[in-house]
Amino acid sequence: MVLFEYITLFLTILFLIIYYTWRRNKNVVIPNWPIIGMLPSILYNQSRIHDFATLLVKHHGGTFHFKGPWFTNIANFILTGDPMNVQYITSKNFSNYGKGIDFHEIFENLGFGIFNLDSNEWKQERALLHSLLKTKSFEISLHQNIQQKLENWLLPFLDHHATKGEQVLDLQDILERFTFDISCTFLFGFDSVCLPYNFNEVSDIAYVKAISVLEDTMLYRHYIPKCIWKLQKWLQIGQEKKNKIAQQNFEQFLSKCVATCKGDEEKRRLRSNEDVDESRSCLLKELIMKRGLGKDEMVGNEKHIRDTAANLLSAGSATISSGLSWFFWLVSTHPMVEAKIIEEIKDNYLAQELNSITNLRMEDIVDKLVYLHGAICEALRLYPPVPFEHKCAVKSDILPSGNHVRANTKLIYSLYAMGRMEEIWGEDCLEFKPERWISDRGQIIHVPSYKFIVFNAGPRSCLGKDISIIQMKMIAAAMLWKFNIKVVEGQSITPRVSIVLRMNDGFKVKVSKRSI
C-alpha cells in the first residue's frame, strides 16, 4: 500500500512538471524540457534540420542558446547567424575559437588533415598548401584538366543522352562523379573514370558513394548524444555501421592512390581500365616532396598523407558538385536568368567561334562572365555546400550580440541561415536574384566574407575559393551553352541531412541540345 502511494506521488509530481513545462513553453519554437532539454525538438525536425536552424536563429534575433540533455556532449551550444558574431569568431578574436575537445571524434573520418588541425600544426599545413595551390602552374594545370574532362567526357556524355530523347538523368550523381574525376586527376595524377563515356546505366562505385555516408555521420554526431552514437559504433548498428563500411571502402581507395603517388607499380592500378598519365601533375606527390619525406619517413607518415588526401578530395569534389547541383536547379527553374547567362556568353565570346566554349581563357572567365558569376554566388548564398561551421571557445567571452560564452562552449554559425537573413540580404532574401551581385557599372559587388560566409572568413578562409569559382564557371558555361536542362516535374528537391548540402533524393533532369 505504501509503495502504491509513493508511485502515485511520483507520477503526480512528474505530471505537474510536464504540465508546467508545457504551459511555459507552448508558445516557444523549441521547448526546454527537464533532463532531456531541447533534444526532442531537434530529433523531430532532423529531416529539415537546416531550415529548422534558420527558424531558430531568426526567431531569437540572430543568436540562440541550445540546451541539450544533462550529462551529454550536446549539453549546451550557441547557434548564430549574426554576421558581427561571425566576424568576431572567425577574425577579431580568432585565437579564442578553435576546434574543441569533441571535434576530432565527430570528424574522425577526416583524420589529421588540415580541416581537423589547430594552432601551429594548422598554420604549417596551410602555409604548405598555400605555396602549392596559389601557383600559376597549378591554376593552369587545373584549367587544362577541367577543359579536357569537359571535352572528352562530360559534354560527349550529355550529348549521347540528349540524342536519346526523353531520358531521365540524375544530374547530381553525374556532377559528383565528374568533379571526383577532376579532383583525382590533379590530386593523384590519374583519372578515376567514375563518369564513363557512352553508357546507358551508371554502376555504383563504392568509394564515391562512401563520401556521402561519411558526411552524413559527421552531422549525425552533432545532434545525437555521444553515449548513443558511441554505443552504436561499438555494437555496429545504425548509422555507425554504415559509416564503418563507408570508411573501409574510402580508405582502401586512398591507400591505393597513395601507393600510386609513391610509384609502387604493383599497387598503382585501381581498376583494369584506369588511365594513368605520368605527364600530369600530382598535387599529393608535390606535397610529399615539399615535406622532404624519404622512403622510410613515408611509411611512418602514410596515415597523415592519406588524411591530407581525404581532406583535399572532399573539399575539391563534394563541395563543387553540391554548389553546381543547386545552381543548375535554380537556373533551370528561372528561365529569365538562364536566358541572360546564354546571352552574356554569346555577346562576349561566341560571335566568331560558336563551338569554342571550352577553350575560354581563365582571365576571360573571371573578368567577362559577370552575370554568370552573380548567379553562382547567388546559388551559393542560398545553398552553401557546407551549411554550418563548428567552433569551441577556449576562454569565456562575450559576443558582439551580448551573449555570454563560457569556456569549452560550442558555437555553430549557420551559413544556410545567414543566406536567408533579411538583415543581411533584404526582404527579398529568399529570391534567386543574380542582379544583387552586380553594380550599376556591370561589375561584381564585393560582399564582406563574414556576411557571404560560404568560403569562410578570417585566417581559415578557403584556400581554394578562386579555383572553385573558376571551375564552377567553366562547367556551368559549357553545359548551359550546349544543352537545355529541364527539371523533371513532381520530384522533391530538399537538402540532405548531412555536413555537405546535397539534394536528398538526387536531381532528375532531361537534357536536350540547345539551338542558338
Domains of the chain: 32-513 (1.10.630.10)
* Structure confidence at residue 395 (pLDDT): 93
Cα angle, residue 453 at apex, residues 86 and 56 outer, rounded to 5°:
60
* Structure confidence at residue 24 (pLDDT): 55
DSSP category for residue 115: G
Give the count of beta carbons closer than 10 Å to the beta carbon of residue 49. Answer: 21
* Structure confidence at residue 267 (pLDDT): 43
Q: What is the distance between the alpha carbons of residues 406 and 220, in angstroms, rounded to a whole number?
A: 24
* Structure confidence at residue 104 (pLDDT): 84
CB under 8 Å to 444, separation ≥6 — which residues? 370, 373, 374, 377, 437, 438
* Structure confidence at residue 113 (pLDDT): 81
CB under 8 Å to 262, separation ≥6 — which residues? 288, 298
Dihedral pair phi/psi, residue 292, rounded to 5°: 70, 40
Answer positive or negative: Cα dihedral of 135, 481, 385, 373.
Answer: positive
Grid coordinates representing 184 are 583525382
Residue holding cell 541550445? 66
Q: What is the distance between the alpha carbons of residues 225 and 102, in angstroms, rounded to a whole number?
A: 12
Secondary structure (3-state) at 398: strand
Digitized pLDDT (tens) for each residue of the chain, 516 residues in all: 555 555 665 555 555 555 555 555 555 567 777 777 777 878 888 888 899 999 999 988 899 988 877 766 566 789 999 999 999 999 999 999 998 878 888 888 888 888 888 888 888 888 888 888 877 778 888 888 888 888 888 999 898 888 876 788 999 999 999 999 898 888 888 888 787 765 555 556 788 888 889 889 988 888 788 888 899 999 999 999 999 999 999 888 888 887 777 664 344 444 444 444 444 567 777 777 766 655 555 555 677 778 888 888 888 888 999 999 999 999 999 999 999 999 998 887 654 454 555 566 656 666 788 999 999 999 999 999 999 998 999 999 999 999 999 988 889 999 999 999 999 999 999 999 999 999 988 889 999 999 999 999 999 998 888 889 989 999 999 999 999 999 999 899 999 988 999 999 999 999 998 876
* Structure confidence at residue 412 (pLDDT): 92
Q: What is the distance between the alpha carbons of residues 49 and 482, in angstroms, rounded to a whole number?
A: 37
Length of the chain measured in residues? 516
* Structure confidence at residue 479 (pLDDT): 93
With 0-12 / 13-18 / 19 or more C-beta atoms within 10 angstroms meaning exposed / middle / buried, residue 426 is exposed
* Structure confidence at residue 382 (pLDDT): 97
**pTM of the prediction?**
0.87
* Structure confidence at residue 363 (pLDDT): 61
